[in-house]
Structure 1
Amino acid sequence: MKKADVIIVGSGLAALQTARELSPDLNVMIITKGQRRGSNSYMAQGGIAAAVAKDDNIVKHFQDTIEAGRGHHLEDEVMDLVKEGREIVLKLVTEGAPFDRNRDGSLCLGMEGAHSASRILHCGGDETGRFLIEHLLKTLTDAVTWIEGEMVFELIQDSNGRCSGVNTMDRSGTVHSYMAPCVVLAAGGAGGLYSSTSNHPTVTGDGMALAFRAGAYIADAEFIQFHPTLLYVDGKTKGLVSEAVRGEGAQLVNDTGERIMEGIHPLKELAPRHVVAQEIFKQRQMGKEVYLSINLINNFEEKFPSISAMCRENGIDLSRGKIPVSPGCHFMMGGVVIDSVGKTNIEGLFAVGEVACSGVHGANRLASNSLLEGLVYGKRLAQWINSQKNLLIQYRSVESEINKDIKVKRSINTFEVKEFQARMMDSAGIIRDEVKLQAHLNWLQSIDFQHDERLDTLQPNEIQKYFMWINSLIVTKAALLRTESRGGHIRDDFPEENDSFWMKRRIVHAFKDGEMRTWLDEQVKTKIYA
């Protein structure tokens, strides 16, 4: 059994930001089921939103965030995000982070959907994630130990419920245990629940399932953002076509040449993502193909090298000026409920990045606020942990009791992953209704996972299926209960927002005493941390 001061689960930007801001005299362990460069963050084409331009300010950024998320926010958290985020981005600029610049040396600032100003910083055109991850990796100290190729399948809790470590399983099925007084979940979102997604294949919501099984609160799981434009070839989505393409002037057209966003929203192609995704979905339901017309973009291949390469690899001739697109799952606004520094309701357990529900994204994330959130909360959490030196020293000498009582029936092979993903896309995807959601919930419940076998007796793929089942149950139940349309949650049978009842009311889930509990709460953090 190996020990550390801080265990970080995940390898994306939020994980690395936390690690690099931790004191160098702390022993930090980063555990990832893939490789250190195998995260959503590394794949991110889009940039970081920050009000650094002379004609921009944090108030505008705050207002755009609230509007995109349809008011379902913790507004103080949003203001702190845009304020602290600006300072962190400027520090990265000073450090020499490789942000794109104009010929005069000034920062190149792009425009994306629902922003009122050009405030998106990019690296390498459409390779922001890769450049930033490489920059952060270079800043890590020798105090950081990497554990790659091991899936965290269980949070270790002592007899008082305190999280004090993790159990992992490598690809051969061998179990390993790691202990630490601080366990940070930075495992990303859950795009792998769906058949169409922009996410890395390993991103299936492990962090949310781990926290849920340990008794942490989950909120806003119904709010899932579907990116409007994934490359669509031969009936399958192949990868993300960044919103920055529309920011540069690309237009959405159907196979008859009609601009599909005309008359739909004043911002047309740069409307909030849920509006654009819904319209593309409707066009496709009518049997029409949808394309991004890039004829108005000069030097497209120079500005978007990775997108151009992806198109060529999939047989798309860019000289024709059209890229076929379709929506796909992109980002979870909800997740593990945290306070302002990343603490959950489980002592010793923390969360940052997409796995966390911080309240800054509301019902629909503003474009390029995700990397900003990872940077801000990663730094905040690290600073809080740094201030707990006496606590960390105290726990270094404590042998924590391992609780292995949580079990699961070996009935995981009762569904195929592809069938599961297709069902999620059809029933809990872009547009939902009670009939489909209830039918999907019934199907999930018919699988009937019992708690009579330990997880460490299962194979990694079986555990993965179990986690996907847990997350699907949470998302589907939340989507069924929210009887309105708001942001990324669109109900065909309840097409309007219902502020009189639903404004800022959250559906909260927890796993207690062997069963799932769900309730409504307007101020989740007040209830948890009072």
Structure 2
Amino acid sequence: MQPDRIEVPTLRRYLVPFDPKRVPHLFADVLIIGAGIAGTRAALEIDPSLRTIMVTKDRISHSNSAWAQGGIAGVLDPLDEFANHVNDTIAAGKGMCDRDVVEFVIREAPERIRELIRYGADFDKVEGEIALTLEGGHSHPRVAHALGDATGKEVMRAMHQTAFDSDNIDIWQQTFTIDLLSRDGVCCGALVWNPNHGRTFVWAKQTILCTGGAGALYRETTNPSIATADGHALAFRAGCDVRDMEFMQFHPTVLYIAGSSRHLISEAVRGEGAHLVDSNGYRFMGDYNEAMELAPRDVVSQAITQQMAKTSHPCVYLDLTHIDPAKIRRRFPHIGKVCSEFGLDITTDRVPVRPGAHYMVGGVTTDTEGRTSLPGLWAAGEVTSTGLHGANRLASNSLLEGVVYGLRCGQNASNKALDQPDNFTAPALVSSPGIPHDSDEALDITDIRNSLRSLMWRNVGISRNEPELQSARQQLDFWANYVCRRDLLTPEGWELQNMMLVGRVMAAAALARRESRGVHLRSDYPDTVESLAKHITVSATDS
């Protein structure tokens, strides 16, 4: 039997000790945690009469949203239809999508893209119309892109400029959110930290969580190093349900050069006609799926992994040499520049690639309004599980989900905050006691973080099985017993504790799903079982 709900101990409610009498207090109407596409769109929807604080743990320009290359999907071609986009999304989701959610998001897409243009985003055009490309899993060209292959960078530039120009939005950069604050089962803000002011209680009438993904839990990833699952962890510690945490999507094509950081090679490269070949020059995708290189991401990632094993070679190759060089240079300037730094010309050389952790499909459970299971807390973007992506996200639906649900959360949080009086005070909050004699000075945080990422890649990666998942759980529990019970003093330490908690949740969920579905491949349960197309919800326990 596959359980519908499992439990994982958090080991502690708050990561740090605090005395409310010794920490500064600040009040806001709406607190938004995260400044990617979901958080920024939420901020732009808050009523101007309300004070909004948007915090981000790094620079505002540094996020998964800004790193997005391919584009944002929407039905903009007269020859395309909403039903096509809906069906493609549901097919990619392998039986786990919520059709009502899919319909709602897909129908919003054209207007949300036009709205981004009104904010100032400059999408690529052909003969005056938005240029659309084809990506894996899509039946029609419907992916709008900007700067060739730097869509996220351009979209976030326009949105952030709009936010900076808004008088009611305070943007706190390099501010780490340690934990959500709750009292009597209601979220009432967060405890944050920055290097200039230390810890601060930010009390808010409504809080919106938009912290992004979890790719940094894996040794091989397309994500920036800041994608450490902080939002998943702090929501879970506060009592929120999370679900589908076994579904980590691995992008099939990540630049693989020893000694270099891992760079995403956009899905759009295959959409424009690139072939995948193995170390022998053999174009192998036809052996795995009739859609060849344009199969959904889970299929392509798993095929690459199997082909690497067959050839005993650490990567496969993208071959663009048969495509017009001028088109390649015009369409993929960023990818071409990155490859050139390693002596590769993408118009004449094969590009070495292999899969890497890319998108966290699972997350904090929300309804169609963006509500979480914790009153007072809303959530949008990659930190959530809305029902849109199912067991495998369709390419370029992520920026779309972020902007659609960011807007909806902003609307709902704004309306709630407008209904709440201004003369509220901070809820009575008892001190959070520390754990004596522990500090991060006793731990080599970098070494443990690297060990965790390697373990997740080996045992909770593209292919899983019960012995390896059990081993991962035991090792993660062992580490957590002495890492997560300590009072650490820095963002690096808090990130490690968040990664440890979410890694334990992911391993437990992967162990519980005894089938293969979408991005979750169990070598010991290789079949997809129709009766198991159900969410697995993970709840927190204190012990």
Same fold (TM over 0.5): yes
Aligned to 2:364: 336
Aligned to 1:92: 116
Q: From 30, 34, 37, give the equivalent of 1:6.
A: 30
Q: From 305, 312, 320, give the equivalent of 1:294.
A: 320
Alpha-carbon displacement from aligned partner over 1:197-228 (angstroms, at most 9, x marks no partner): 00011011000000000000000000010000
Q: From 128, 137, 156, give the equivalent of 1:133.
A: 156
Query: Is the CA contact 2:149–2:335 (under 8 Å) kept in the aligned structure 1?
Result: yes
Q: From 479, 484, 503, give the equivalent of 2:515.
A: 484
Alpha-carbon displacement from aligned partner over 1:329-380 (angstroms, at most 9, x marks no partner): 0001110001112111111111100001111000000000000001110111
Query: Is the CA contact 1:189–1:204 (under 8 Å) kept in the aligned structure 2?
Result: yes
Query: Is the CA contact 2:97–2:388 (under 8 Å) kept in the aligned structure 1?
Result: yes
Deviates more, 1:375-384 or 1:90-99: 90-99
Q: What CA distance in whole angstroms lies between the structure 2 residues aligned with 1:76 and 1:83?
A: 11
Aligned to 1:510: 539
Mapped pair 1:399 → 2:423: no
Query: Is the CA contact 2:29–2:417 (under 8 Å) kept in the aligned structure 1?
Result: no
Counterpart residue type for residue 474 of structure 1: V
Query: Is the CA contact 2:119–2:158 (under 8 Å) kept in the aligned structure 1?
Result: no
Aligned to 1:105: 128
Query: Is the CA contact 2:205–2:417 (under 8 Å) kept in the aligned structure 1?
Result: no
Mapped pair 1:123 → 2:146: yes
Change (3 A) 1:214 1:407: farther
Q: What CA distance in whole angstroms lies between the structure 2 residues aligned with 1:481 and 1:236?
A: 35
Q: Which consecutive unaligned segments of at least 5 residues does structure 2 have? A: 1-24
Mapped pair 1:326 → 2:350: no
Deviation at 1:256, TM superposition (A): 1.0
Query: Is the CA contact 2:73–2:400 (under 8 Å) kept in the aligned structure 1?
Result: yes
Deviation at 1:320, TM superposition (A): 2.9
Aligned to 1:371: 399
Q: TM-score, normalised by structure 2?
A: 0.90
Q: What CA distance in whole angstroms lies between the structure 2 residues aligned with 1:203 and 1:452?
A: 19
Change (3 A) 1:395 1:433: farther
Deviation at 1:407, TM superposition (A): 6.3
Q: From 40, 46, 50, give the equivalent of 1:16.
A: 40
RMSD, aligned α-carbons: 2.0
Counterpart residue type for residue 36 of structure 2: G
Aligned to 2:3: none
Query: Is the CA contact 1:407–1:452 (under 8 Å) kept in the aligned structure 2?
Result: no
Higher relative contact order (CA 8 A, sep 6+): 2
Q: From 423, 433, 437, give the equivalent of 2:455.
A: 423
Query: Is the CA contact 1:411–1:449 (under 8 Å) kept in the aligned structure 2?
Result: no
Deviation at 1:89, TM superposition (A): 1.7
Matches within 5 A, 1:270-289: 270-286=294-310, 287-288=312-313, 289=315
Mapped pair 1:146 → 2:171: yes
Q: TM-score, normalised by structure 1?
A: 0.92
Alpha-carbon displacement from aligned partner over 1:471-495 (angstroms, at most 9, x marks no partner): 0000000001100000010111111
Deviation at 1:387, TM superposition (A): 2.4
Query: Is the CA contact 1:69–1:364 (under 8 Å) kept in the aligned structure 2?
Result: yes
Q: What CA distance in whole angstroms lies between the structure 2 residues aligned with 1:452 and 1:83?
A: 43
Q: What CA distance in whole angstroms lies between the structure 2 residues aligned with 1:38 and 1:178?
A: 23
Deviation at 1:135, TM superposition (A): 1.0
Q: What CA distance in whole angstroms lies between the structure 2 residues aligned with 1:157 and 1:436?
A: 36
Deviates more, 1:470-479 or 1:445-454: 445-454
Query: Is the CA contact 2:135–2:270 (under 8 Å) kept in the aligned structure 1?
Result: yes
Q: Which consecutive unaligned segments of at least 5 residues does structure 1 have? A: 516-530
Aligned to 1:524: none
SS at match of 2:130: coil
Query: Is the CA contact 2:515–2:522 (under 8 Å) kept in the aligned structure 1?
Result: yes
Aligned to 2:54: 30
Query: Is the CA contact 1:56–1:117 (under 8 Å) kept in the aligned structure 2?
Result: yes
Q: What CA distance in whole angstroms lies between the structure 1 residues aligned with 2:105 and 2:402?
A: 10
Aligned to 1:347: 375
Q: From 433, 441, 448, give the equivalent of 2:465.
A: 433
Change (3 A) 1:110 1:405: same
Query: Percent identity, aligned pairs only?
Result: 37
Change (3 A) 1:115 1:396: farther
Change (3 A) 1:211 1:227: same
Query: Is the CA contact 1:231–1:326 (under 8 Å) kept in the aligned structure 2?
Result: yes
Deviation at 1:255, TM superposition (A): 1.5
Deviation at 1:266, TM superposition (A): 1.4
Aligned to 2:331: 303
Q: From 345, 357, 377, give the equivalent of 1:317.
A: 345
Deviates more, 1:444-453 or 1:359-368: 444-453
Deviation at 1:237, TM superposition (A): 5.4
Counterpart residue type for residue 477 of structure 1: A
Q: What CA distance in whole angstroms lies between the structure 2 residues aligned with 1:452 and 1:373?
A: 32
Deviation at 1:396, TM superposition (A): 4.7
Alpha-carbon displacement from aligned partner over 1:282-315 (angstroms, at most 9, x marks no partner): 1222313410001133221221111111112233
Mapped pair 1:445 → 2:472: no
Query: Is the CA contact 2:364–2:372 (under 8 Å) kept in the aligned structure 1?
Result: yes
Aligned to 2:7: none
